[in-house]
């Protein structure tokens, strides 16, 4: 058996994937047609699914990607669209050997274009329950807030009764912060996170993907997050690196994403070895698999090809992922 097979068989947890990022150009075109959504006429990339896929190989930055990401999700309208999207992801995750998946979605990217939160959630939650039943994958849904929007708009949506209901019922068990990172520092969202914490939600935030290491410390101190999404800029701040290692705060690293969005030049520049040497806990994730050329196992294999981790090191990475998950202790014990 190949090393890929070894990696496939490990009980992997995925902590950083955006369900909207599982939308392939092919499905995007099919849904746009079905839902009568007009794609931009003035951009050659929308000529065909093939042209769009080709454009995805040439992202220049996070914002360049986000432009396509938000247009793409405009094709999602009905609950069944959201369900099919998430189910497609869970099937990939299952064949890659994912045991537990904590998945993001972006409520504001849908409510802002007139899609009801309950429609989005119905679709995603149905797929999660099906993944648990048919694939044996445990799941957690995380609602992310878009940091390029005014913090007061984020707060207002958080307080909406449909969102509150989803938090209180446990259908959504965490909040995150994503979208354009600079110049939108974490501390702008202190009030939102204080309220989410009061509800007992798990807290995470994207920080240190394109933004500086100071965004990571702000997310920790001002938002009270227990994990950092991306966090690769942590290696620019030795003191913070040591603190995060000591406190066992997990980073959710997305290697292929970092290369495709040009946060690093090559996979070898993702600071995997530095994090291992410093004793920082991290997991390896796909972020937006339909946009970045790979699902979770492709990310594991890319890291292995670049860094040649030992079997013991891989087992350590996977164990850190299980321990850093938000599932209950019984589920962790099953996976450990
Ligand atoms: N960063 C910020 N926002 C995002 C990302 C990301 O990597 N993917 C989807 N939304
Ligand atoms: Zn992300």
Q: Does ligand 1 have an atom closer than 6 angstroms to the CB of 257?
A: yes
Stretches in the chain below the pLDDT threshold 70: none
Tally of domains in the chain:
1
Task: Note whether 52 and 28 are within 8 A (CB).
Answer: yes
261-264 own/partner pairs: CB under 8 Å, 24+ apart: 261/59, 261/61, 261/62, 261/64, 261/65, 261/209, 261/210, 261/292, 262/59, 262/60, 262/61, 263/62, 263/209, 263/210, 263/230, 263/232, 264/232
Which residue's structure tokens are 């099937």? Answer: 91
What is the DSSP secondary structure assignment for residue 233, as one 8-state letter? Answer: G
Tokens (6 digits) for 8: 């496939």
Output the residue whose Cα is nearest ligand 1's atom 10.
Answer: 179
Q: Which residues contact 309 (CB under 8 A, 6 or more apart)?
A: 272, 276, 303, 317
In a domain, 112, yes or no: yes
- Ligand 1 in contact with 178 (CB < 6 A)? yes
Show the domain range for 23: 3-228
- Flag whether the ipTM exceeds 0.85: yes
Give the CATH number of the domain where residue 66 resides: 3.20.20.140
Question: Is there a contact between 74 and 81 (Cβ–Cβ < 8 Å)?
Answer: no
For the CA of 15, the nearest ligand: 2
Annotated binding-site residue? 206: yes
Q: Determine whether the annotation assigns residue 304 to a binding site.
A: no
141: three-class secondary structure by DSSP = strand
Question: Hey, whose CA ends up nearest to atom 4 of ligand 1?
Answer: 179
Confidence (pLDDT) at 187 = 98
In a domain, 80, yes or no: yes
Residue 210 lies in a domain: yes
Closest atom of ligand 1 to CA, residue 18: 9
Q: Is 30 part of a structural domain of the chain?
A: yes
pLDDT of residue 137: 98
Ligand 1 atom at minimum distance from 20 CA:
9
At residue 159, the 3 state secondary structure works out as: helix
Q: What pLDDT shows up at residue 1?
A: 74
Condensed to tens digits (0 to 9), the pLDDT of residues 98-109 reads: 999 999 999 999
Ligand 1, closest atom to CA 254?
7
Beta bridge partners of 202: 174
Q: Is 289 a domain residue? A: no
Residue 87 lies in a domain: yes
Establish if 79 belongs to a structural domain.
yes
pLDDT in tens, 26-84: 999 999 999 999 999 999 999 999 999 999 999 999 999 999 999 999 999 999 999 99
In a domain, 173, yes or no: yes
Distance 96 CA to ligand 1 centre (A): 22
- Is 16 annotated to bind a ligand? Reply is yes
Beta carbon of 206 within 6 Å of any ligand 1 atom: yes
For 308, residues 6+ apart whose C-beta sits below 8 A from its C-beta are: none
Q: How many CB atoms lie within 10 A of CB 238?
A: 11
CA of 257 to the centre of ligand 2 (A): 8
Q: Is the CB of 188 under 6 A from ligand 1?
A: no
- Catalytic residue positions, numbered: 209
- The verdict on whether residue 81 carries a ligand-binding annotation is no
Q: Match 């100071």 to its residue by tokens.
A: 214
Q: φ, ψ for residue 246 (rounded to 5)?
A: -65, -40
Does residue 102 have its Cβ closer than 6 Å to ligand 1?
A: no
What residues contact residue 116 under an 8 Å CB cut-off, 6+ apart? 162
Helix 190-198 vs helix 151-159: crossing angle, to nearest 10: 20
């Amino acid at each position: 058996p190949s090393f890929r097979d070894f990696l496939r068989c490990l009980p992997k947890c995925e902590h950083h994937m955006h369900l909207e990022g599982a939308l392939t150009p092919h499905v995007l075109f099919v849904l746009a047609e079905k839902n009568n959504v007009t794609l931009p006429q003035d951009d050659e990339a929308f000529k065909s699914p093939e042209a769009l896929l080709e454009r995805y190989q040439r992202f220049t930055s996070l914002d360049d990607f986000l432009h396509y990401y938000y247009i793409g999700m405009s094709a999602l309208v009905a609950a069944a669209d959201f369900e099919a999207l998430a189910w497609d992801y869970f099937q990939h995750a299952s064949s890659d050997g994912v045991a537990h998946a904590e998945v993001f979605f972006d409520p504001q990217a849908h409510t802002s274009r007139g899609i009801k939160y309950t429609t989005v959630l119905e679709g995603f939650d149905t797929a999660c329950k099906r993944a648990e039943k048919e694939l044996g994958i445990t799941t957690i849904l995380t609602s992310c807030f878009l940091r390029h929007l005014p913090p007061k708009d984020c707060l207002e949506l958080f307080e909406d009764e449909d969102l509150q209901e989803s938090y209180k019922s446990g259908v959504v068990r965490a909040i995150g912060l994503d979208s354009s990172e600079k110049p939108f520092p974490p501390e702008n969202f202190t009030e939102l996170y204080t309220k989410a914490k009061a509800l007992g939600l798990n807290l995470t935030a994207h920080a240190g993907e394109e933004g500086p290491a100071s965004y990571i410390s702000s997310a920790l101190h001002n938002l009270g997050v227990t994990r950092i999404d991306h966090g690769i800029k942590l290696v620019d701040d030795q003191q913070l690196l040591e603190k995060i290692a000591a406190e066992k705060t997990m980073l959710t690293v997305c290697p292929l994403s970092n290369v495709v969005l040009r946060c690093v030049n090559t996979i070898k520049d993702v600071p995997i070895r530095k994090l291992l040497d410093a004793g920082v806990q991290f997991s390896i994730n796909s972020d937006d698999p339909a946009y970045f050329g790979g699902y979770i196992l492709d990310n594991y294999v890319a890291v292995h090809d670049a860094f040649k981790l030992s079997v013991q090191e891989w087992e350590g990475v996977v164990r850190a992922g299980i321990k850093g998950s938000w599932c209950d202790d019984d589920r962790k014990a099953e996976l450990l």
